[in-house]
Structure 1
Amino acid sequence: MLKIGDKKLINAWAFYDWANSVYSLVISTAVFPLYYSAVTEGETVTFLGMEWDHPDSLYSYALSFSFLVVAFISPILSGIADYTGSKKKFMKFFCFLGSLSVMSLYFFDGLDTVWIGIVFTILASIGFWASLVFYNAYLPEVAHPEQQDKASAKGFIFGYIGSIILLIINLILIQKPDWFGIDSGMASRISFVMVGLWWLSFAQITFKRLPNDMYNKKPEEDYIWKGFKELKIVAKEIANYPTLKKFLIAFFLLSVGVQTIILLATIFGSTELGLATIDLIITVLLIQVVAILGAFLFSRLSGKKGNFYALKLTIVIWMVVCFCAFLLHKELPNVSLYFYSLGAVLGLVLGAIQSLTRSTYSKLLPETEDHATYFSFYDVTEKIAIVLGTAVYGVLYAITDSMQWSVLCLAFFFLAALLILSTLKKTKYVR
């Protein structure tokens, strides 16, 4: 078994980002939402015996439901995983659930099968986000604290590169289906299968080398009840660590802004700015490419100036992004070029903030064997932030009839996070 800090172990762990990030880019952002909208546009769909005049709202409700499910089950399952030493088994289960559910989206081929699209969207989302709880929890078990910024950044860099490669392949398939003797609908459905196969296949590299039960836990029979007790213990410990508790609050606030912008950036571009699909796809690819650079540069910056300094700098830039987006409107000359530029800036801090928050949280943890349980609180914080962020965005859009004000409002969440981070005391590994 490879020891903590071994480069082969860190690379194997980081490679799970390469495997699963194709889901977040192709399924969550670029291809599936466009395919779903094309199939259901202007139609009334039936799901669970109810008619939906706005199918896009049904899709958003499905995603919100999946986030709530993960927020509910991940602390319970992580407590059991820590008590029984079975993080790897849970991670494998949710990886299989997510990847097989993505492949099942192939059978969503029209209005009669919308239920397949919705059901497997929910299951794929649960599989993806739940597997990340256990994946993230491995970070302090594969890398020493001084290695964790670079290890976390390496994971995101792998993820961005892998997802860009597969997205380009999928776009060629979808844009030029006649080259392959199929139509564009079939091309999109084949891309869903490709995502699932990519995720499942490359994940085996990670599973082969990740340690299983590294603390040699020997659980008693009532492991479910013991798992609940493990969860309760960790909750009390978090409450007794002021820096960790405040960091989670700051992470919640900045996640409201970050995750809402990630989920709704393309909708803002199409609805508010009237941009064409090709402009949105170019922007998505640009964000991914620049995010590679951002993750790399800010991991080096955190090594020199400290995690808190690097995080605060990214938050300031996020606030600038919100303000600039507020100033954009469809009558603006060359608005697409401004949107590309904003996407490049967003990409720079997207890779940075995702990798830094993960490694900073990991380095703030006390000496413990309950890494999955601790990271479940991190995950729940993010999921609740997503639900709140999208709700705030939607309410403000309904009131003002403008997404610009919704985006500007997100800057206040970043500001609150910045203020809280400014009060945190430095620790042995985080400064």
Structure 2
Amino acid sequence: MSARTTAETEPGAGDGDSGGEAADGGRAVAGEQASAAARKAARKREQHGWYFYDFACSVYSTSVLTVFLGPYLTAVAKAAADAHGYVHPLGIPLRAGSFFAYSVSASVIVAVLIMPIVGAVADRSGRKKPLLAAAAYTGAAATAGMFFLGGDRYLLGGLLLIVANAALAVSMVLYNAYLPQIAEPDERDTVSSRGWAFGYTSGAFVLVLNLVLFQGHDSFGLSESMAVRICLASAGLWWGAFAIIPLRRLRDRKVVREAGAGTGPAVSGWRQLIATLRDMRRYPLTLSFLLAYLIYNDGVQTVISQASIYGSEELELEQSTLIVAVLLVQVLAVAGALGMGRLARSYGAKRTILGSLAAWGLTLAAGYFLPARTPVWFFALASMIGLVLGGSQALSRSLFSHLVPAGKEAEYFSAYEMSDRGLSWVGPLVFGLTYQVTGSYRTAIISLVVFFALGFVLLARVPVRRAVEAAGNPVPERI
């Protein structure tokens, strides 16, 4: 009785306890909010650093692969060709005009052999960043080494192209695997699109500098060949310089994974890839998307790498015209990537990608009929490509991220990159073989329409909402 009375006559004690608990609860909530804000700030910092790898390496794709190296390496190969127009690497007779396309195909095959090994090492160690650094600086060094291409050194050019292209492909495996770790599901379309936009921005900026140097090479006291070689090497220097930013901001996550006893990284890499593909049989809709992506992306990559050859050899356009056209692609691709990201929010990523594939097919069909020596029509074609290029790639990456089962992001993105690179040697091979047989770049370019048509049909058949649900992920309002 007295105890009850005491409690009733001393309300301050009870109120004090409640006040203490409330204060503790308030501090806990404030701590959680501060912790969430800190995590968000750290995530944004990583995202900004992640964007800069696209900023660093896209100059290679633009200035080297798309603009300068194709025509220049073809000219070097022609200088080394016999009276019938053939070069003989390893004793194999090849048309000099096909050497660049075959080199691109060889680089992809090398990349496919290496990627599972790098993926296994990254998965077992959890240290993607050192591997990203190694791949980035190997590619940057090979690109800078293109300064030494001259005379009839077409074999050196092919070798450097294979090394640089394979290194880029390997680095992109590691780069893309960061996306699920640094972006929440509802952020991924935006983050992925911004990465592509950063890349196209840097590509456009450096291409302007390249255009000034190439157009004014006489005033700089340089030959045209020397100007091209400087442009090629500068892409490698740019790649190496700006790769420092993501390497400083991205961080590795610890993983616990036991490697198979007595197996090296090459064996375990391929075993892991095979195990991932077997696991994917549980998610047939994810596999269906990968098949569609594999086919239409092969067409995209081939157009990127072979467009300058088509413009210079078939349409007889000046190098300066090609540079301006690719610059136009870069500028419009920034708007295209961001604009298609907004369209995806309204109409869904799948419909937006399908629209871009239809536009790709129409663009190639129009390209077949372009008259020679008419830059204005080539600029119109470049504008069409620019508007659909970045968005189709960025949205494909973000759409796939929704189809990956939770906890398997790294291994599935490795398989995604294998799909990205695994058959992207087929397009250049088809392009090169078509030219080898027909001697016509027009026939070679129109042969690529089949990649977009087949990819469109296969993607249209994928029920993406069911695919997201089957993977155990929340379905976005628009997908």
Does the alignment pair 1:27 with 2:64? Answer: yes
8 Å CA contact 1:83, 1:226 repeated in 2: no
Structure 1 position 404, deviation (Å) = 3.7
How do 1:24-423 residues align onto structure 2 when only pairs under 5 Å count? 24-44=61-81, 50=91, 54-111=95-152, 113-215=153-255, 224=265, 226-330=268-372, 335-371=374-410, 373-398=411-436, 401-423=439-461
Give the TM-score normalised by the residue count of structure 1: 0.90
Moved more, 28-37 or 312-321: 28-37
- What is the CA distance between 1:40 and its match in structure 2? 4.0
Aligned partner of 1:15 in structure 2 is: 52
Query: Is the CA contact 2:71–2:312 (under 8 Å) kept in the aligned structure 1?
Result: no
Given the superposition, is the C-alpha separation of residues 424 and 393 from structure 1 closer, same or farther in structure 2, using an over 3 Å criterion?
same
**Structure-2 change in CA distance of 1:41 and 1:401 (3 Å):** closer
Q: How far did 1:131 drift? A: 0.5
Q: Alpha-carbon deviation of 1:245? A: 0.3
The residue matched to 1:320 in structure 2 has which SS? helix
Offset, 1:349 = 0.6
| Contact 1:6–1:142 (CA under 8 A) maintained in structure 2 | yes
What is the rounded CA distance, in whole Å, between the counterparts of 1:48 and 1:410 in structure 2? 26
Measured at CA, do residues 212 and 239 of structure 1 come closer, stay the same or move farther in structure 2, by a change above 3 Å? same
Q: Distance in 2 between matches of 1:226 and 1:3?
A: 34
AA at the equivalent of 1:27: V
Range moving further from structure 2, 48-57 or 93-102: 48-57
> How far is 1:157 from its partner?
0.8
Cα shift readout 1:73-100 (whole Å, capped 9, x = no counterpart): 2123212311221221211111111011
Deviation of the 1:415 alpha carbon: 2.3
Shift of 1:214: 4.2
Q: Structure 1 residues 406 and 64, CA, compared in 2 at 3 Å: closer, same or farther? A: closer
Deviates more, 1:223-232 or 1:293-302: 223-232
Residues 313, 88 of structure 1: alpha-carbon distance in 2 compared, 3 angstrom cutoff: same
> Is the 1:22–1:166 contact (alpha carbons within 8 Å) kept by the matching residues of 2?
yes
Give deviations 1:250-295, integer Å, cap 9, x for gaps: 1012123212222222222233333333322221111111111110
Deviation at 1:36, TM superposition (A): 2.5
Question: Aligned partner of 2:142: which letter?
Answer: S
Instruction: Report the CA distance shift for 1:266/1:109 in structure 2 as closer, same or farther (over 3 A).
Output: closer
- Deviation readout 1:380-410 (Å, 9 max, x if unpaired): 2232432222233334445555444444443
The alpha-carbon deviation at position 337 of structure 1 amounts to 1.9
- Quickly say closer, same or farther: Cα 1:306–1:280, change in 2 above 3 A: same
**Residues 280 and 192 (structure 1), Cα distance of their counterparts in 2 relative to 1, 3 Å cut:** closer
Q: How far 1:217 sits from its partner (Å)?
A: 5.9
Aligned residues: 426
SS at match of 1:180: coil
Q: Deviations over 1:198-235 (max 9, x none)?
A: 11111110011111134466868757355454333322
Contact between 2:70 and 2:308, CA under 8 Å: does it hold in 1? no
- Aligned sequence identity (%): 31
CA distance in 2: counterparts of 1:306 and 1:16, whole angstroms: 27
* Partners of 2:192 and 2:394 within 8 A in 1: yes
- Structure 1 pair 100–406 and aligned structure 2 pair: CA distance change class (3 A): closer
CA distance in 2, matches of 1:394, 1:146: 41
Q: Which amino acid aligns with 1:186?
A: M
1:335 shift after superposition:
3.8
Superposed CA RMSD: 2.7
**Structure 1: which amino acid aligns with 2:145?**
S
- Per-residue CA deviation, residues 124-158 of structure 1 (Å, 9 max, x unaligned), is 11111111111011111111111111111111111
Worse-superposed segment, 174-183 or 351-360: 174-183
Q: How much has 1:240 moved relative to structure 2?
A: 1.5
Q: Answer yes or no: is the 8 Å Cα contact 2:110–2:162 preserved in 1.
A: no
Q: What TM-score do the two structures reach when normalised by structure 2?
A: 0.81
Q: In the alignment, residue 95 of structure 1 is paired with which amino acid?
A: A
Q: Which amino acid aligns with 2:65?
A: S
* Aligned residue in 1 for 2:9: none
Cα distance in 1, alignment partners of residues 459 and 155 from structure 2: 43
Q: Please tell me the residue identity of whatever aligns with 1:31.
A: F
State how far apart, in whole Å, the 2-side matches of 1:387 and 1:157 are: 25
Residues 171/50 of structure 1: CA separation in 2 closer, same or farther (3 Å cut)? farther
The 8 Å contact of residues 95 and 131 in structure 1, kept in 2 or not, is answered as yes
Partner Cα separation in structure 2 for residue 108 and residue 221 of structure 1: 45
2:368–2:445 Cα contact (<8 Å) kept? yes
CA–CA separation in structure 2 for the residues paired with 1:49 and 1:421? 40
Secondary structure of the residue aligned to 1:328 is: coil
> C-alpha distance in 1, partners of 2:270/2:157?
34
C-alpha contact (below 8 Å) 1:76/1:231 kept by paired residues: no
Q: Using the alignment, how far apart are the partners of 1:39 and 1:420 within structure 2? A: 40
Q: Is the 8 A contact 2:57 2:239 kept in 1?
A: yes
